[in-house]
Structure 1
Amino acid sequence: MLLAQLLDRAGTGVWAAACVLYFTFVIGLDAGQVGLLLGASGVAGIAGSPLAGHLADRFPVRSLLIGAHLLRLGTLCLMLVVTDFALLLLVVAVTHLGDRGAKTLEMLFATRVAGDRRATYQALSRSSANAGYALGAGLAAIGLAVGTRGAYQVLILADALSFLVVAALVWRTKEPRGRGLVVPPAGPAEAAGPAEAAGPAGPADGTGPAAAAAPAGRGPWRDRGYLRFVLLDIPMHLDDSILGIGIPLWLVGRTEAPHELIPAFLVVNTVLVVLLQLQVSARVETARQAAGAVALYGVATFACCALLAGAGAGGVWGASAALLAAAVLATAAELVRSVSSWELAVRLAPKEARASYLGVAGMAQSVQKSAGPLLLTGVVMAAGPAGWLALGTAVAGLSLVQRRSSLRRLDRLERLERTPPVPAASG
């Protein structure tokens, strides 16, 4: 699975680096059409996670994952021949739908295969994914340097080929019996998660035990406690947009730092994730530790935003140092989030419907990818340094809310486990 992830992300890195130029110089779209194309694909991607989770509760995850990869293979091949904008809009939207669905199914499948080594797998997954993105970006740079129509088409075929190889690797990976996700029993210090919780319904506010151990027939869309977790998890993914969009645009528009510094942000991110993800994951092994780590995410994000707010007043060297330090802090936030977010999503979901719940949880990242760039460019950076300070303060405050909400839910689950079941009344 790790090799499959590396190849998947390498192909995705190729496409991410080349798609805008392909649409502009090969297809001939203007900037407005490209923006609409990518915006619509982002919206379609939001639906991919819950759809994948819904299907995973009913069909084998491995078969669905192979199908998602083959869907992406087909739509990328169609891009080589489709030039009509309306058809291209549909093809790109379906591609991103399959992309987000594949990533959710990939994590569902990997969670089952990894079992009680889920945290370690998540760390290795992040490392291989970042290495794959870097490899893909490097391959794309070669094609972009050539710059011909044929070179762009070779890049698309390379991405499509990666999905074919990944589908074959998934097909060779054995899937554990049963469709439900396997989560190891939690110890007392971990405040056992909902996979082991069972008992009578709690308060009707959607935050009690009933919300965590949803009764039969109750789905994630009716579980207000879990939806609150997903909603609060959206700003806990903003590090992605800050690193990829916010820091480079702030460098160009508001600081005296050299533009040649921009590639260094990706290098810093990739190297630190590869070197440190396992160590960070080793410190976040339980649901309570994951909830506590959310607060660290808020601290790292606030510090990152504070550095960006002051970067414009530091001259060339001061701005360069502040921006590089901000990239390090954004990466630190990513390291924490990549472990805590998924661990809490698993532990706070009921065992009997975990796939559909995790599908909904996957929407947090998709929504951030669509709304995050707009938030940064249209609100935060438009407000100047004060915008960065406001963003950092908001994320730090919401991280504390998320931490408290998750711990209270875990406390209720722990009390529920200690409460003996009420015997049924005799007739």
Structure 2
Amino acid sequence: MLTRILPPPGPARMLIFITMVMSLGQGLWIAINAIYAVTVIRLTPGQLGVSLGITAALVLISSVPLGHLVDRAGPRTIQLWSFLSLAPLTGVLLFVQGFWSYLLVTSVQGLAYRAGNNARKAMIAARVPAGDRARIRAVIRAALNVALAVGACLAGLTLAWGERVGYQSAILLTALCFLVTGLLTLKEAPVPPVPAAAGAAFAVFRDVPFLLFTAVDGLLSTHGLLLDIVLPLWIIHHTDAPRWMSAVLLLINTAFVVAFQVRAARGTDELKSASWASLQGGGCVAAACLLFAMTGGAGLFMACVLLTVGALVHALGEIRHAAGSWTITYDLAPDHAQGQYQGAYKMGVDIGKMFAPALFAWLVIGHGATGWIVLAVSYAVLGAAVPAVVARGARSRATAKVAAGGVTSSTVRM
């Protein structure tokens, strides 16, 4: 399927291939990390939670400075060194013993990965024409899901085996994927650093319209946690559906994204169309929440049907929201600070992920269908707010360009 939608050989295809190699390692590591830490390194669940929390906080506060570094040093340079450093950082986990060494290694690992993530997005901004970014990001996301699924399957085999040598082999394969990612980056043409513009070093913190979009979109992005965390708990505690339905729903989501993400990104290459795509995404997620709410009082067969339909509607909302947010994030960011702005955008997503799991579990598991209805209303309101927020950001960008003596580009038409 991907062979039919891949762009011709060139910068975009190399970006996609590099993402697939990286995502294979990422999918494998995400699936085994927690179990490896508890069963092999012998951390307690509490120590693991503290370590993950500290790492998340460090990555959050470092996201914009790391993005600023991408702009000043050049995205290819940062991507190269971040993944070359991730390879030994992952491999050294074979020798980690105890909480403090695990915390040190995984914290540096998290910072290196965020730097590489910011760099990859800045590479897209630098190497792909503005009108084609949404399509390329869609292909990248479809390819990423394929690679993540393969990595997760390998992790499943590792976990089923359960032997120490299996975990060690998985870690070495993950390190190899990161090493290959770094080496493949050498095949990409270098992107020159962007000279710093006059004014504050971290100008994104003064860009109120972009920060407002980051907050709204970060909250809207929490819908990704519904299938990962909320629905498995809901299925167990409030429905007659079998437990394995949660895995089925994840497979449905992955297959849907791979099959339709590129199609969902069509026509989202301008801010107005992109903002309406995000609105539609929020509306679909809201409808999915209402379908999930109906499963609580249904029998086994009807619960499975409603869960499946809800997962499909949720997946449609996910891919429409993603397609819209890509164009908006790139087009509201100035060319000289793409890395910095991409880092700030990730902060909004990170903050949403920090509070959403506990809040969503409290709403849905504690209050049943009422909790789903609250979530449905929230996502509908957030989606409806995106066009107005983006219109304000577009006006701000146009004013800044005129003030700087530039000409307003077609990417800020509303």
Offset at residue 402 of structure 1 (A):
2.3
Q: Which moved more, 1:54-63 or 1:101-110?
A: 101-110
1:358-381 Cα deviation digits (max 9, x unpaired)? 221121222233333222224443
SS of corresponding position for 2:186? helix
Does structure 2 retain, via aligned residues, the 8 Å contact 1:251–1:323? no
How far the C-alpha of 1:233 sits from its partner, in A, is 1.4
Q: Does 1:53 align with 2:57?
A: no
Partner of 2:200: 217
SS at match of 1:57: helix
Matched, 1:349 2:333: yes
Quick check: 1:233 aligned with 2:248?
Answer: no
Indicate the larger mover: 46-55 or 126-135: 46-55
Pairing 1:272-287 to 2, within 5 Å after superposition:
272-287=256-271
Q: Report deviation, 1:169.
A: 0.9
Residue 177 (structure 1) shift: 4.6
1:409 partner SS: helix
Distance 2:190 2:403 in 1: 35
Q: Is 1:405 aligned with 2:393?
A: no
Please state how far the C-alpha of 1:239 moved relative to its aligned partner.
Answer: 2.0
Aligned match for 1:157, one of 169, 172, 180: 172
What pairs up with 1:363-402 in 2 under 5 angstroms?
363-402=347-386
Q: For residue 100 of structure 1, what is the aligned residue in structure 2?
A: 114
Deviation larger for 38-47 or 74-83: 38-47
Distance 1:101 1:374, change over 3 A: farther
Q: 1:31 to 1:61 in 2, by over 3 A?
A: same
Conserved? CA contact 1:48–1:99, under 8 Å: no
Whether 1:167 and 2:182 are equivalent positions in the alignment is: yes
Flag the 1:170–1:298 CA change in 2: closer, same or farther, 3 A. same
Rounded Cα–Cα distance in structure 2 between residues aligned with 1:382 and 1:366: 24
Query: Scaled by the length of structure 2, what TM-score is found?
Result: 0.88
Write the distance in 2 (CA, Å) between the matches of 1:3 and 1:328: 28
Q: Return the letter of the residue paired with 2:134.
A: A
What's the offset of the Cα at 1:420? 12
Q: Report the secondary structure of 2:33's partner residue.
A: helix
Over the matched positions of the two proteins, sequence identity in percent amounts to: 28
CA distance 1:136–1:65, change in 2 (3 Å): same
* Superposed displacement of residue 415, structure 1: 7.2
AA in 2 matched with 1:375: L
Letter of the 2:115 counterpart: G
C-alpha deviations, 1:212-249, integer Å up to 9, x for none?
A: xx974371112222211111111121121112111122
CA distance in 2, matches of 1:409, 1:223: 9
State the shift of 1:46 in Å: 2.0
* Greater Cα offset, 348-357 or 270-279: 348-357
Which residue is 2:90 aligned to? Answer: 76
CA distance in 1, matches of 2:56, 2:122: 21
Q: Aligned equivalents of 1:416 and 1:57: distance in 2?
A: 19
Distance in 2 (alpha carbons) for counterparts of 1:136 and 1:416: 44
The one-letter code matched in structure 1 to 2:327 is: E
- Higher helix residue share: 2
SS of the equivalent of 1:344 reads helix
1:144 and 2:144 are equivalent in the alignment = no
Distance 1:419-1:75 versus aligned 2 partners, 3 A rule: closer
Per the TM alignment, residue 158 of structure 1 is displaced from its structure 2 partner at its CA by 0.9
1:79, 1:19 → 2: CA distance?
A: 10
Structure 1 residues 418 and 17, CA, compared in 2 at 3 Å: closer, same or farther? closer
CA drift of 1:254 comes to 1.4
| Counterpart residue identity of residue 259, structure 1 | R
Which stretch of the first structure deviates more once superposed, 93-102 or 406-415?
406-415
Partner Cα separation in structure 2 for residue 68 and residue 371 of structure 1: 28
Q: Deviations over 1:102-122 (max 9, x none)?
A: 222111112212223211210
Match of 2:343 in 1: 359
CA 1:413–1:91 in 2, change beyond 3 Å: closer, same or farther? closer
- State which of 248, 252, 255 in structure 1 corresponds to 2:236: 252
What does 1:175-186 correspond to in 2, within 5 Å?
A: 175-177=190-192, 179=194
Q: 1:320-375 deviations in whole A, cap 9, x for unaligned?
A: 11222222122112211222112111111223333212221121222233333222
Question: Which residue of the other structure, out of 44, 55, 59, is the alignment partner of 2:58?
Answer: 44
How many residues are treated as equivalent by the alignment?
389
2:45 to 5, 28, 31: 31
- Give deviations 1:247-293, integer Å, cap 9, x for gaps: 12211221110112222122111211111111111121211111111
1:175/1:363 CA distance change after superposition, 3 Å: same
Match of residue 261, structure 1, among 241, 245, 248: 245
2:129 aligned residue (115, 128, 133): 115
CA contact 2:142–2:257 (8 Å) conserved in 1: yes
The AA in structure 2 aligned to 1:97 is: L
Mapped partners of 2:207, 2:347: distance in 1: 15
Name the residue aligned to 1:311.
295
- Name the amino acid aligned to 1:217: A
CA apart distance, 1:72: 1.9
1:125 aligns with 2:109: no
CA contact (8 A) 1:6 1:128 kept: yes
The aligned amino acid for 1:23 is A
Q: 1:418 to 1:44 in 2, by over 3 A?
A: closer
Which runs of no fewer than 5 residues in structure 2 stay unpaired? 1-14, 406-414
Q: Cα gap change, 1:310/1:180 in structure 2, threshold over 3 Å: closer, same or farther?
A: farther
Change (3 A) 1:419 1:147: closer
Partner Cα separation in structure 1 for residue 217 and residue 199 of structure 2:
25
Gap runs ≥5 in structure 1: 182-213, 422-427
Deviation per CA, 1:389-425: give whole Å up to 9, x if none: 111211211222222111233245557878997xxxx
